[in-house]
Amino acid sequence: MVIVLVPVVLGLLVRLLLPRLVQRVLPVMPWFSVLVICLVVAIVVSLSADRLVEAGLLVTAAVILHNLSGATLAGWFRRRDARAEAGATAVQPRS
């Protein structure tokens, strides 16, 4: 919990105390966050490289299954929501 709470509190404090700095760096923050996430993933994967090689086929199958199930569920929900919205109207007709 502390791992999540500390950055959130620090971020709120920086926004409160240094709003002009936040406005200047805000445009580059998405790129910075992507870079940091890639770096963290690279470190975790490199530290687990031996175990990943040993379990390569199993990990590959798990990743494929995970991605396919996510895509399938997303498509199912999208179709279900489209059908629900098709029957809805923004303005109700008078009776």
Could you report the per-residue pLDDT of 51-65, keeping only the tens digit for each? 878 888 888 899 999
Q: What is the pLDDT of residues 9-30, one digit of tens each?
A: 999 999 999 999 999 999 999 9
How many residues can be counted in the chain? 95
Dihedral angle sign, alpha carbons of residues 86, 87, 92, 95? positive
Predicted TM-score (pTM) of the model is 0.48
CA distance 82 to 71: 16
Task: Tell me what the pLDDT averaged over the chain comes to.
Answer: 86
